[in-house]
Amino acid sequence: MHTVELQGEGSGVKRTVLPSGIRVITETMPTLASETVGIWVDSGSRDETDRTAGSTHFLEHMLFKGTRTRTARQIAETFDRTGGESNAATAKEYTCYYSRCLVDDLPVVTQLLWDMVLDSLIDPAEFERERGVIIEELAMDADDPTDVLYESFDSFVFGDHPLGRPIGATKEQIAALPHEVLLEHHAANYIGPRLVFAAAGGQSHEAVVEQVLAATAHLPVPQAPGHTTEQPTAEAPAGSRPLAGSRPGRPERTAPGFRSGTLLVDKETEQQGIILGVPGLPEAHPDRFTFSVMYSLLGGGMSSRLFQSVREEHGLAYSVHCFASRYQDAGQFGIYAGCSPAQAQAVVDLCAAEFARLATQTPAEDEVAAVIAQASGSTMLGLESSAARMNRLARLEMSGQPFESPMDALARVRAVTPEMVRDLAARLHAQDAALVTVGPAKSLHLPD
């Protein structure tokens, strides 16, 4: 085993790579009596094929349905007895199983999470029952116009690329998914080198490592060269890792293109949902700190330009804001608004005008300073949560980003200048845009 203190002596952030290839990364918060932990799997819906579409999300459901030593009811009762919370999430690039509990209950919760992840039965009868549950879940999502809008946007701009596929796949794909696909998916992806155990809270790193070792002692040691069990070299800082896409043991990911143009999805709704978007920044892009300031200034809150213009000044929409999706090798940046169909084109034009203004006119010093102050405050308040810190550790580890202390990250944000914001907005705005809408309006178009 090899342990590295990632953010300097005394930072409380450590990573240990176990002989199995599992990476254990923790942040000790000594004043807390609780711990938030998660098992992160380096596999998401973008790693699926047409044959296996939906298997990542389906498997997430199945791991709560019983193991070799626990029934589904016993799993639920054990989580309930800890008095905390537990759940799972499937995304396009990862899957996570997590729980928050008292430090005293951490050994039980750690053992339970690993039992689910490594030793689930994935029973054929349970599989057939859960197939119906997932189809109902997809039907519920199809009734939500906002879900339809965002999935339509992904499908339109990414086309046939796996990032364009809904995370849960389609009802037809789930209805046809064979049981053996889940078994194959589990065997190929739920292996040591593709698993990260992240924890933040009152327990020490050494105690967490001991608990993970005890729960995963039966895993084999990887034999293939080049896994993340390798020691850092003299040229590579101790806190650095290979980029996510270069890790062996995972199918190679290919970057998507971005289709511009207009897609109108006809749906009988009271409001017209609108997304105006362009290619954004990948997860680890060097301009990510400037991007956070630009995002907040344009559409990150009630004082943002979009909110003040579209809602407060013109009264055209109740909800208007920016959104961003960031992946290993691609990203999206866009503006969302919901408004009456009759006002939809005016809202599109106004949103586009605000984006263009930011791209061509340097914002005032005091406006940028106010955004940075707000971002600094919200960042520090958010990091008082052990769940936020656990998520931050895991995302940095899985994306291959260098570890920085929260204060170092804030310093990077505070170094952003108005000129940097304008220049990034100009680069994003210069790209061809996509307009996707859901609702009854039939003649919307991109601004000239």
Percent of the chain with pLDDT over 70: 92
Mark whether 389 and 302 lie in a shared domain.
Answer: yes
Mark whether 178 and 38 lie in a shared domain.
Answer: yes
C-alpha to C-alpha distance for 212 and 351, rounded to whole angstroms: 49
In which domain, by residue range, is 378 found? 261-439
Determine the Cα angle at 333 with ends 443 and 169, to 5°: 80
Overall average pLDDT of the 281-301 stretch: 95
pLDDT of 17 > 60? The answer is yes
Overall average pLDDT of the 186-193 stretch: 94
C-alpha to C-alpha distance for 326 and 30, rounded to whole angstroms: 32
Q: Which of 111, 104, 101 has its CA nearest to residue 211?
A: 111
**CATH code for the domain of 114:** 3.30.830.10
**253 lies in some domain:** no
**359 lies in some domain:** yes
Mark whether 284 and 188 lie in a shared domain.
Answer: no
**72 lies in some domain:** yes
pLDDT of 10 > 60? The answer is no
Of 183, 214, 230, which residue constitutes the final position of a domain?
230
Q: Flag the least confident range among 72-76, 140-144, 406-410.
A: 406-410
pLDDT of 244 > 50? The answer is no
Determine the Cα angle at 12 with ends 21 and 247, to 5°: 25
Q: For 339, which DSSP code?
A: E
* Confidence bin at 387 (pLDDT 50/70/90): very high
Give the model's pLDDT for residue 362. 98
Of 230, 252, 279, which residue constitutes the final position of a domain?
230
Mark whether 74 and 144 lie in a shared domain.
Answer: yes
pLDDT in tens, 230-243: 333 323 333 333 33
User: Mind telling me the catalytic residues?
Assistant: 60
Mark whether 294 and 148 lie in a shared domain.
Answer: no
**242 lies in some domain:** no
**378 lies in some domain:** yes
Structural domain total, the chain: 2
Mark whether 204 and 353 lie in a shared domain.
Answer: no
pLDDT of 330 > 70? The answer is yes
Residues 6+ apart with CB under 8 A from 229: 2, 17, 19, 21, 193, 222
pLDDT of 69 > 90? The answer is yes
